[in-house]
Amino acid sequence: MTKLTRRGALLGGAAITTLAACGQKTATALPPPTGPAAAKALPPEGWESGLTIAHRIATGDTTSLEEVNAAITRAEAVNGQINAIATDSFNQARIDAGDLVPGPFSGVPTFIKDLMNWKGTQTLMGSRAFIGYIAQEDAPFAAAWRKAGVVSLGKSTTPEDGLTSTTEPLVTGPTRNPWDLSRNTGGSSGGAAALVAARVVPFAHASDGGGSIRIPASTCGVFGLKPSRGRLKAGRSGPTPPVDLSVNHAVTISVQDSIELFRVAETNDGTYAPLGEIRAIRRPLKIGFAPDTISGTHVAPETLAALEKTAQLCRDLGHDVRDFKVPLNGEEFTDKFLMYWSAGAAAFAQQASEFTGKPIGPEIVEPWTLGLAARFQSRQAEIPEIIKYLQDFEAAYDAWFEDMDILLTPVTGSPARPIGEQAPDGNFEDVMESVLNFAAYTAPMNVAGAASMSVPLGWSPSGLPIGSMFSGKRGDDGLLFELAMQLEQVRPWIGKVPPVSAF
C-alpha cells in the first residue's frame, strides 16, 4: 500500500461524506485561509492518525513493532531539542508490541503523562521527590487505555504535581515548544502536547485540573478536549476530593482520534449516556463571544485578533455569535480557586515528605510548590467556606447557558511565554503574576465540571499557535466534538507542522 493511498484513506471517505451531509453552503464557500494562518489540507509525508495506524496493523499492512520502532526513531530525533520525555520505556514498548492487546488502538505507540501510574514504569509526578517510584499497577484511566491496546513509549513531562501553567520541572528541566524553542509549552500536559505537535506520536495522554489539556493544546497547536467531570475513568484510585477538578483524556492532531479515545475510557456507570455517533454539527449554534478575562488581566493583541477571526469563521458557518459578558466576580473566583489549588500543593508536599522520609523543604519540592503550600497554611481556616463556594459554582455556571449553546473565549491571555518566566524556582510573586495573566480563562470549566476544548484555529504574526476555547455545560462533550469536526473540515490544521518536527 502506498503512502498516497494511506493519506487518501486518512482524509477521504467518511470525512468527505460527513462534510457533504452538513448541507451548509457557507462551509464550502469559505475562502481559503491565507498568510501565516494558512493551513495545508494534507498531513506531512508519512504522518498517520492513531486510527489509521491501528487499521494498518490490524490488516497486516504493518506491525506494531514497526510502528513502535518508527516512533522511537522520531522521539530520539527531536527530544534532544524539546525535552518532552520524563522517562522512556522503549525496550518494554518493543516487548509489548509483540504481545498485543486487541482493541481499537491495538499496537499504536503513545506516551502517558508523568502524573499517571502505568504499571512497571517510573512515575515522577514531575518531582525530584519521586525518583525511583515504580507504579505497581495501572491507574483506572491507564487500565482503560491498556485495554484499548495502546503501547506506551514512556512518560511525557509535566510540572511538579501539575501545579502550574508551564512545563519546566527541576527534575527533568524545561520542555521547549517545537514552534519556538525559546518558548514554553504550557502546562501541565506540556510534554504530551509537544510530542504530538512534533508528530512523534499521533496522540498522547493528558489531564486537566485547571486548564492542563487546553493550555498546552493551544500553545502547541494541537486539539485538546477536557471531558465533563466523571465521564471518563479516573486518573487515580482513592477517595474523590470535595471539588473534583481533574479529568483525563488526550491531546491529538485529529478530532476523530480524540473521539475514539474518549469512547474507550468512558465510565458507563449510568451518569451519562455513552457517546453516540458524532458528525459535523448540522444546526446553527448560539455562541457567546467573551474575549475578556474574568478578572480583568491583560490579553495580548494577537490573541484577541485570532479569536475575532474564529468568531467570524463561526458566523460564516451560520452560527449565531453574540457578545457575552461573563456574570462573575472574577477576582473572588480566582482567589478561591487558587486557595483550593494551594491546598492540593500542601497535600503533595506532605506526600513527598512521607515518600522520601525528609522534611518538607526545597530539597524535595520546588519553591513554587512551597509558596502555594504556604498560602494554604496562612488561610487554612477558610477552606470549608471555599469548598462550599466552589461546589455551588456549577449551578451558577450553568445559568450562563440559558440563552446560548457554547461559550467562545481565548484559552490563554497570550501565546506561549518565554522559557523561565514561569520557572518554579523564580520569584514567587513574579511567577504568580505571569501564571494568572496566562492561565486566565480555563479554571471555571474545571470547577463546574464542564466540557471544554481548545481548537487550533489561530496563529500569531510570528507563527505561534493560538487556540480558541469552546465550552459547554457538563455533559456537552458530544456537542463540542460535533463542532470540532466542522471546524476541522473547513479550517484544517493537520498540515500545520512546527519547525522542530519528526517529519
Q: How do the domains of the chain map onto residue ranges?
A: 3-490
188 is catalytic: yes
pLDDT of residue 41: 56
* pLDDT score for 4: 27
Residue 436: its pLDDT value, please?
98
What confidence score (pLDDT) does residue 237 get? Answer: 84
CATH superfamily, domain at 3-490: Amidase signature (AS) domain (3.90.1300.10)
Q: Which of 189, 423, 408 is nearest to 303 (CA)?
A: 408
Q: Which residue positions in the chain have pLDDT lower than 50?
A: 1-40
Catalytic residue among 49, 89, 188, 471: 188
pLDDT tens column, 438-492: 999 999 999 999 999 999 999 999 999 999 999 999 999 999 999 999 999 999 9
- Known catalytic residue: 113? yes
pLDDT at 42: 87
Q: Are strands 247-252 and 223-226 parallel, antiparallel or unpaired?
A: antiparallel
245's CB contacts (< 8 A; 6+ apart) are 209, 210, 340, 446, 447
Integer-rounded Cα Rg, in Å, for the chain is 21
The catalytic residue among 212, 218, 254, 434 is 212
Cβ atoms within 10 Å of 327's Cβ, excluding its own: 9
**3-state secondary structure at position 439:** coil
pLDDT for the residue 238: 82
* pTM score: 0.92
Q: So what's the pLDDT on residue 254?
A: 98
Q: Is 452 a catalytic residue?
A: no
Identified catalytic residue from 49, 113, 258, 414: 113
Order across the sheet with 452-459: list the strands.
203-208, 247-252, 223-226, 452-459, 465-471, 406-410, 286-289, 320-323
